């Protein structure tokens, strides 16, 4: 699970990733398809520099398919390919070596010009905690690899895993930290499980989520809590949900803390269905 990041941790993680990147031809960056911006490291461009990159929009089984499609287009450029995957169920994994090979074609041409014998393309998985790095490594390896948890600084002997004939993968991922500056980013990370929920207030998170659902997925919200309409006033909305879910204290008042926690847990458990919390067209991103 998520580590607490301090400046020292970040500096160390940056050093470790920079060191690993020296051996790497193509970078595989994993983001959570529900929050592709909030689940990215703020320094990623600087770290990767001009290396070709494959962005994996993982956990697509939990994200809105239309929005994921829009993200796929938004991310792709000359040096960046994008794949939508669901690593837990192994969907999209087979396409990874093919995309890596395509991205490495410039490299192959360079080797040929210089008379260097072609070798397997060396790759590294990069991402913030909980985006699915270990799951992807295990799926690509076809077996369970002992992966040191989300603890930057804990080292083990690194090994290359062969993936087909033309790709090699470092068996330890590069672990990066998420952005922390904006409150909304913290809420999105907590709602999707990337940071510990106890760092944030349930009522704040529930208000954030209910506002977002009201604006973006009102029908989903109505059907989840069996509401005939969504009250504009947040207290009334809490009242309606709290009553539906029997969150009452003595005297018949709604227990707002419990209601907030229920809303939060419903989202975390995927009970709202496939919801993306960020869209490339959003102004607030």
Residues in contact with ligand G4P by the rule CB under 6 A: 58-59, 61-62, 86-88, 127, 129-135, 150, 193
Residue number, 133 or 188, with CB nearest to ligand G4P: 133
| 131 assigned to a ligand binding site | yes
| 165 assigned to a ligand binding site | no
Residue 83 per-residue DSSP state: E
Residue number, 87 or 254, with CB nearest to ligand G4P: 87
Residue number, 87 or 195, with CB nearest to ligand G4P: 87
Is 24:51 a contact under the CB 8 Å cutoff?
yes
Give me the least distance between CB of 246 and ligand G4P, in Å please: 26
In the three-class reduction of DSSP (H, G, I as helix; E, B as strand; rest coil), residue 209 is classed as helix
Among left, alpha and beta (phi > 0; psi -120 to 50; other), residue 50 is alpha
Give me the least distance between CB of 138 and ligand G4P, in Å please: 8
Buried b or exposed e, range 51-67, using 16+ CB within 10 angstroms: ebbbbbbbbbebbbeeb
**Gap between the Cα atoms of 101 and 121, Å rounded:** 7
Residue number, 90 or 118, with CB nearest to ligand G4P: 90
Is 256:203 a contact under the CB 8 Å cutoff?
yes
Residue number, 42 or 193, with CB nearest to ligand G4P: 193
How is residue 167 written in tokens?
A: 């790709």
Give me the least distance between CB of 83 and ligand G4P, in Å please: 12
Residue linked to tokens 């059907």:
223
Residue number, 8 or 270, with CB nearest to ligand G4P: 270
Give me the least distance between CB of 134 and ligand G4P, in Å please: 3
In the three-class reduction of DSSP (H, G, I as helix; E, B as strand; rest coil), residue 283 is classed as coil
| 132 assigned to a ligand binding site | yes
Chain center to CA of 127: 8
**Gap between the Cα atoms of 105 and 163, Å rounded:** 17
Give me the least distance between CB of 29 and ligand G4P, in Å please: 11
| 195 assigned to a ligand binding site | no
What DSSP element (H or E) covers 26?
Answer: strand 26-32
| 105 assigned to a ligand binding site | no
Beta bridge partners of 123: 26, 169
Give me the least distance between CB of 176 and ligand G4P, in Å please: 10
Task: Please report, in range form, the residues annotated as the binding site for GTP.
Answer: 58-61, 130-135, 174
Task: Please report, in range form, the residues annotated as the binding site.
Answer: 58-61, 130-135, 174
């Amino acid at each position: 699970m998520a580590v607490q990041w301090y400046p020292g941790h970040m500096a160390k993680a940056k050093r470790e990733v920079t060191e690993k990147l020296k051996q790497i031809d193509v970078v595989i960056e994993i983001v959570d398809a529900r929050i592709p911006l909030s689940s990215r490291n703020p320094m990623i461009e600087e770290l990767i520099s001009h290396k070709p990159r494959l962005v994996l929009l993982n956990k697509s089984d939990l994200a809105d398919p239309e929005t994921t499609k829009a993200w796929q287009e938004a991310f792709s450029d000359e040096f960046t390919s994008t794949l939508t995957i669901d690593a837990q169920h192994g969907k999209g994994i087979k396409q990874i070596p093919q995309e890596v090979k395509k991205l490495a074609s410039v490299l192959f041409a360079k080797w040929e010009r210089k008379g260097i014998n072609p070798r397997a393309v060396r790759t590294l998985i990069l991402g913030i905690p909980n985006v699915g790095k270990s799951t992807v490594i295990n799926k690509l390896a076809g077996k369970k690899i002992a992966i040191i948890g989300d603890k930057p600084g804990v080292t083990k002997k690194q090994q290359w895993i062969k993936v087909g004939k033309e790709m090699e993968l470092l068996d330890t991922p590069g672990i990066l930290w998420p952005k922390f500056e904006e409150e909304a980013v913290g809420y999105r990370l907590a709602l999707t499980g990337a940071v510990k929920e106890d760092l944030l207030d349930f009522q704040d998170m529930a208000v954030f989520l209910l506002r977002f659902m009201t604006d973006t997925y009102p029908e989903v919200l109505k059907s989840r809590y069996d509401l005939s309409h969504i009250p504009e006033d947040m207290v009334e909305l809490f009242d309606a949900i709290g009553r539906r879910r029997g969150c009452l204290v003595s005297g018949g008042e709604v227990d707002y803390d419990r209601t907030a926690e229920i809303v939060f847990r419903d989202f975390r458990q995927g009970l709202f269905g496939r919801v993306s919390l960020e869209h490339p067209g959003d102004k607030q991103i």
